[in-house]
Chains A and B, each alone.
Chain A
Amino acid sequence: MELQLIDNIPEGFTRGLNTDETSEEYFLNMGPQHPSTHGVLRLVLKLDGENVLEIVPHLGYVHRGIEKLTESQTYLQNIHLTDRLDYLSSHINNLGYCLAMEQALNLGVPERGEYIRVMLCELQRIQSHLLWWGVSGMDLGAVTTFLYGFKEREMITDIFEELCGARLTMNFFRPGGSFADVPDTFLPHVQRVIERMHVALDEYNTLLTNNIIFQERTRGIGILSKEKALSYGCSGAVLRASGISYDVRRNDPYSIYDRFDFDIPIGTVGDCFDRYQIKMEEMAQSLRILGQAVKTFPKGPYRSKEQAAYRLPEGNYYSQVETARGLFGTYIVAEGGTKPYRVKFRSPSFSNLSALSEMAVGHKIADLVTILATLDFVVPEIDR
């Protein structure tokens, strides 16, 4: 038998030798309109039957040039671009950008402003995780979870709507605090969310976590080792599931996170089930932070001082925050004017997605869907 180089392979795949005549490999487009790629991600798969041999992600289908856009807008106008990146972590992204500006301006935030920031960010984390929980259930075929997740998510979304009118792409934080003070109904509503969420988390575990089919589908699937997770620059639940305890809120505290008592859950195996459990536990921990914040919520000003136009002194500024998906970094190069020279965002989903091939090769298409679900990526953040 004469071996031949495989011809006509799509871009990005390794050119191998066709050594086995009995097996027939073929390429399959998953996306950009696939229900499990959550938006417009396109994965090209090399398959042998249902087994995944190689994956090449193709990015750029929702590329809007956000980093380039920042160069033509003022610093203040740019805040609202950050929540368009990861619309499930709008508040947290806003905060990341504001922190970099505050670093440049050497601007402080009053006590009440910090509390508002922490509470909104934690509510946002729960809100994002609730959507993730519902969607990953649906990816595994349990449609009911999707609607259950939305039930509690709605309570948090209502709080955000009351606060700033927006339900998805919030634009509430400003350098030195927030755009407005919280209404009187804020604390009772948060208290209600905390009470309801404790019951809801038990329900979720009964419906999905403890289900034998769900465990069979997630345990031992898509294992990512410690070393690989680090080398791909993974962060968030993906990194912590592999056994590395790194959370920006704990390891590089910003705002007033160092005042609160909460745990960073870490996994041991690094499989889909670990990633799932970490996210579930993170919701419980966020509730702990919220509970403490509700008890000690101070009175006073919510913003240090307002400015019409911010001029950042010349220099490079970097800040990082922990979004619902992991480490979100903002790097601003300022040259003294009202507009940045260059802004670069470091998004968690991008690095988490890069480890996809590492996790999914050797598994089946159905497992690939499970892995995508536990990666919990938001595509506009990948395609900046």
Chain B
Amino acid sequence: MDVIIENLPAYVDGFLRTLFLSVVSGIIALIFGTLLAAARVSPIAALRGFSMTYVEIVRNTPLTIAFFFAAVVLPRLGVTFQQFEVAAIIALSAYTSAFIAEAVRSGVNSVPVGQAEAARSIGMKFSQVLSLIILPQALRTVIPPMINILIALVKNSSVAGAFYVLELFGYGRQLANANGDAVLWVLVGVAFFYLLITVPLGYVATLVERKVAISR
């Protein structure tokens, strides 16, 4: 227990970096994932093909490989950055958006096809049908799976600790090395700070769901 209290500044620093990685990657993934889902149901074949290929490749690739690509391969190709947080955000948001896209697509599928047909029949363009009729309903239905994906994202961000970013997990390893006699408590501390992000997320999900849920 003492080890957690003595190293509180390290924990807080790691916590803030984990939070930063999760929030930024989460926002990017939500936007990009929704765009991918829109592309998947669009009338343009090339967009559908791109979206499907992206989702299938990225969600079936281990996250570690995505990190390796962002942190090691990209710099080899000339895309260098001095902050490894950038690599972590690229890897996390690219990976997570594939899952977001699938969740949104399932929401889109849940909207009765008659609504889209009705919207078309009153002269709406595809973009209007999607943004005014389908997506608002689709997104509401997929709040629970979406939150699951975001919780997974928070936990997945620990992989950044192995790729040169000193976040919660990175600090955990550092503290474990320095306090060989209290590894258990070090890890309890790390788990506590993860829960500090993920448990409220679940709570927010319930709240939002209650607010925006639609009954069909």
Q: Answer whether A and B are interacting partners.
A: no
A residues in contact (CB < 8 Å) with B: none
